[in-house]
DNA sequence: TTGTACGCGTTATCAG
DNA sequence: CTGATAACGCGTACAA
């Protein structure tokens, strides 16, 4: 019985050292894979670790070394395939590097983001991945004060806090609308849900192009701050049809969920896609390629964004020089059956 | 300059104490919301915390108190809506309680699970949520040795390690097949991907019922260890049609992704659903209710499982008495357009 | 290559 | 109600 403290007398480095007949620091060096420990000693120590079932206490390690092996990740939503794939990319790189991910779902709220940020900073993360650029002032101050590698992901930012990996939602939306125009759609509507900053940027891209062509009509724009879903897509489409009196030949949806909802709604309303109504989504989730007709969409490097962000953090932690702290992962408009095919099948960025 | 150590001279409890002219422990008590601190002192301390932008160091706290405020969560896949909703339930309870979630994706591998478990245990979690019951022996030993509240989720287990929240996949599959039989389907196939333990249990439920009715034909069973996806559903359906020579009037799919793939494949092959082919999925994801025709499926309490599991852990941590450490969250077969409607619209568990 | 002494920031304990 | 002191388990710095 070592003490009356709460922690059950867990096996410690010292226990292993005693068992192996070496000093604690030697065990530490074995655990942390340091060079320069005799094979003989190493073997003895490893045997003792096995025998005692030793698991290093990260809190103690962290406290002593200021190295937590934790990366904080803040995303707006857990229940969104888009972020799941970004996360997969992050975990794929973090895991093998021996890093843990501390994940927070901010529910698209800068205030929740700020709260989560505080909590995460309490764990002394060595790096931070956060979504987008609309942090609260307090959060921004916090981030400025901590001196960690920070990557803002999902969108290209004009003034990143530190590093940035993403693409321009504005340009992507413009490309979509230009594609639709090239397919001879003229009365193009916009459907948006949630309307987070990136959705707003898409809306702006949509407006920009139609404005240029003298084809913008705000009666063809329907948005809601409510969460996005397939069902919501159907609802919004019905609103849109009402609002513009059916004077519509295509719909650009803020994301694929909404677009799928529109597709199904069209089937129910016996509107032929892509003839009477062209439909284009955003994100190019797997379903887009599988549904009938195929859903035109915008392919973005979700997995890649997570992967790159994580790699950039590690590069910084290892003192490597980055080519550039800003990475544009681009996008690609993918033409499928839900929009009329034109002369070219795919428009590259 | 306090030291030459790596950690940038972060604001500590001692700094706050000095600033407020009190002792460190008083600051600690304020931070941890202890009763019995004068309002005057509390106010002074809180002001200092604000002024200095103090963020408590959880590693130190953890080390000193053996309380990490961390819950470890091990799930087989991040990129699966099913687990996302379970996670949402977990976060929803954990966050407000001031707990962090340490998440690991085991990629359906018991070995990866064991590895992640070790890593997570290094962070001294106060509780653990793990998926299913097929842990490695080493993992089981580890879990037995740590004395934490542990909840195994997603399925009902015969011999849980500690607590258990889930439902019987075997019974759910039986209910599906019985429903299909009551709709006068007789040549019912099974499509499965990934074939993790729960998928296997569904397959067994399917076999059990058809066996009883003398209708089991293994040529109508197609499975693959590969990951599940909508596209895979189409592929497997084509294999199935080949394997049974088209002698098939319904398909029970291991999950909704596969089922959606079958639905789309049927559209492409001009097979009418539900007349020529009935289709039933599993999990009842949102898309099931939205697709045309609606996909019959099995509704399970995903969000609820996460929520309950988390609450049970907190109950244990607070020394509350649990009604039962085993919770069956049940299931419900949902009848939609992809299967012929019978006399009753829904079969309850 | 291995070991010793000390400190990381916080909380438990017990005294005032 | 408040404070002094000693851990918590490990890694850094330096010595051997």
CATH code of the domain covering residue A104: 3.40.50.2300
pLDDT at residue number A34:
85
Looking at the fold, whether B184 and B279 belong to one and the same domain comes out as yes
Beta-bridge partner residues of B251: B189, B279
- Please name every residue paired with B299 in a beta bridge, in sequence order, or none if there are none: B283, B332
- Are residues B33 and B137 located together in one domain of the fold? no
> Quick one: A310 and A225 in the same domain?
no
Three-class SS of chain B: CCCCCCCCCCCCHHHHHHHHCCCHHHHHHHHCCCCCCCHHHHHHHHHHHHHHCCCCCHHHHHHHHCCCCEEEEEECCCCCHHHHHHHHHHHHHHCCCCCEEEEEECCCCHHHHHHHHHHHHCCCCCEEEEECCCCCHHHHHHHHHHCCCEEEEEECCCCCCCEEEEECHHHHHHHHHHHHHHCCCCCEEEEEECCCHHHHHHHHHHHHHHHHCCCCCHHHEEEECCCCCHHHHHHHHHHHHHHCCCCCCEEEECCHHHHHHHHHHHHHCCCCCCCCCEEECCECCHHHHHCCCCCEEEEECHHHHHHHHHHHHHHHHCCCCCCCCEEECCEEEECCCCCCCCCCCEEEC
Does B209 share its domain with B336?
yes
**B265 and B309 in a common domain:** no
| Region class of B208: left (phi > 0), else alpha (psi between -120 and 50), else beta | alpha
Q: Are residues B102 and B246 in the same domain?
A: no
- CA dist A256 and A254 (Å) reads 7
* % residues pLDDT > 70 (chain A): 95
Q: Which of A53, A122, A291 sits opposite B56 (nearest CB)?
A: A122
- Report pTM: 0.92
A213 and A336 part of one domain: yes
φ/ψ of residue A119, rounded to 5: -60, -45
**Residue B5 maps to a domain:** no
- Evaluate whether residue B2 is within a structural domain: no
A46 located within any domain? yes
* Confidence band of A8 (pLDDT split at 50, 70, 90): low
Tell me which residue in B55, B119, B141 faces A121 most closely, judged by beta carbons.
Answer: B55
- Residue B71 CA to residue A104 CA, distance in Å, equals 13
DSSP state of A80: -
Count Cβ neighbours within 10 Å for each residue of A4-14 and write b for 16 or more, e otherwise. Answer: eeeeeebbbbe
**A169-214 pLDDT tens trace:** 999 999 999 999 999 999 999 999 999 999 999 999 999 999 999 9
Radius of gyration over every alpha carbon of chain A, rounded to an integer in angstroms: 26
Distance in Å from D10's C1' to B298's CA comes to: 50
- Residue A343: predicted pLDDT: 52
pLDDT at B8: 55
Instruction: Report CB contact under 8 Å: B145, A53.
Output: yes
B222 is a domain residue: yes
Question: Phi, psi at residue B165, to the nearest 5°?
Answer: -130, 120
B5·A66 Cβ contact <8 A: yes
Q: Is A124 exposed, middle or buried (0-12, 13-18, 19+ CB in 10 A)?
A: buried
State whether A237 and A106 are in the same domain. no
Give the pairing type, strands A70-75 and A100-105. parallel
Structure-token match 């499928």, residue found = A336
DSSP code of residue A88: H
Angle between helical axes of A81-94 and A302-317 (0-180°, round to 10)? 30
Q: What is the pLDDT along chain B (349 residues), one digit of tens a residue?
A: 333 334 456 899 999 999 999 999 999 999 988 888 898 889 999 999 999 999 999 999 999 998 899 999 999 998 899 999 999 999 999 999 989 999 999 999 999 999 999 999 999 999 999 999 999 999 999 999 888 999 999 999 999 999 999 999 999 999 999 999 999 999 999 999 999 999 999 999 999 999 999 999 999 999 999 999 999 999 999 999 999 999 999 999 999 999 999 999 999 999 999 999 999 999 999 999 999 999 999 999 999 999 999 999 999 998 888 889 999 999 999 999 999 987 544 444 3
Domain span including residue B80: 70-167+302-318
B67 touches strand C (CB under 7 A): yes
pLDDT surpassing 90 at residue A94: yes
Judge whether B188 lies within some domain.
yes
Residues B209, B220: one domain? yes
Q: Which residues in B lie closer than 8 A to residue A290 (C-beta atoms)?
A: 230-231, 234, 260-261, 264
Does the C-beta of A6 come within 7 A of strand C?
Answer: yes
Tell me, yes or no, whether B42 and B75 share the same domain.
Answer: no
Asked if residue A160 and residue A189 are part of one domain, the reply reads no
The DSSP letter of residue A220 is G
Measure the CA–CA gap between A297 and A281, rounded to whole angstroms: 4
Average pLDDT, chain A: 93
Strand D nucleotides in reach of protein CB atoms, 7 A cut-off: 1-5, 7-13
**Separation between the CA of B32 and the C1’ of D2 (whole angstroms):** 16
Nearest to B273 by CA among B285, B263, B286: B263
- When divided into structural domains, chain B yields a total of 3
Q: CA-nearest residue of chain B to A232? A: B290
- Here the CATH number for the domain that contains residue B41 is 1.10.260.40
Estimate in Å the CA B191 to C1' D11 gap, whole number.
54
**Closest-approach residue (CA) in chain B for A59:** B59
> Which of A60, A78, A292 lies nearest to residue B87, judging by beta carbons?
A78
Instruction: Kindly state whether residue B100 falls inside one of the protein's structural domains.
Output: yes
A12 CB contact with strand D at below 7 Å: yes
Chain A residue whose CA is closest to B91 = A105
Specify the pLDDT at position A205: 98
Task: Let me know whether B271 and B213 are in one domain.
Answer: yes
Residue A186 lies inside a defined structural domain of this protein:
yes
Q: Is residue B325 one of the residues assigned to a domain?
A: no
């Amino acid at each position: 019985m070592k003490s009356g403290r709460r922690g059950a007398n867990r096996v410690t480095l010292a226990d292993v050292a005693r068992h192996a007949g070496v000093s604690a620091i030697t065990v530490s060096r074995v655990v942390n894979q340091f060079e320069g420990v005799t094979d003989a000693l190493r073997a003895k120590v490893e045997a003792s670790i096995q025998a005692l079932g030793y698991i290093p206490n990260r809190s103690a390690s962290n406290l002593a070394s200021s190295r937590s092996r934790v990366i904080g990740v803040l995303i707006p939503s857990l229940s969104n395939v888009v972020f799941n794939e970004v996360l997969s990319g992050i975990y794929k790189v973090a895991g093998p590097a021996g890093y843990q991910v501390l994940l927070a779902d901010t529910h698209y709220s800068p205030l929740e983001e700020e709260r989560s940020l505080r909590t995460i900073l309490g764990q002394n993360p060595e790096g931070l991945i956060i979504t987008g650029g609309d942090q609260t002032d307090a959060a921004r101050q916090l981030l400025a004060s901590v001196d960690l590698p920070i990557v803002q992901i999902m969108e290209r930012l004009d003034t990143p806090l530190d590093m940035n990996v993403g693409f321009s939602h504005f340009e992507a939306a413009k490309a979509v609308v230009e594609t639709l125009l090239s397919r001879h759609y003229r009365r193009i509507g916009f459907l948006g849900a949630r309307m987070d900053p990136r959705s707003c940027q898409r809306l702006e891209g949509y407006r920009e192009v139609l404005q240029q062509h003298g084809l913008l009509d705000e009666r063809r724009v329907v948005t809601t701050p409510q969460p996005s879903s397939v069902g919501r897509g159907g609802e919004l489409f019905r609103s849109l049809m009402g609002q513009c009196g059916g004077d519509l030949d295509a719909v650009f949806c803020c994301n694929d969920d909404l677009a799928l909802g529109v597709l199904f709604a069209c089937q129910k309303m016996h509107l032929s896609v892509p003839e009477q109504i062209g439909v284009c989504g955003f994100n190019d989730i797997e379903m887009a390629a599988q549904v009938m007709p195929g859903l035109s969409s915008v392919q973005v490097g979700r997995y890649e964004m997570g992967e790159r962000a994580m790699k950039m953090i590690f590069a910084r932690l290892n003192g490597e020089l980055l080519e550039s702290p800003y990475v544009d992962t681009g996008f690609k408009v993918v033409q499928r059956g839900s929009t009329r095919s034109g002369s070219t099948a795919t428009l590259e960025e």
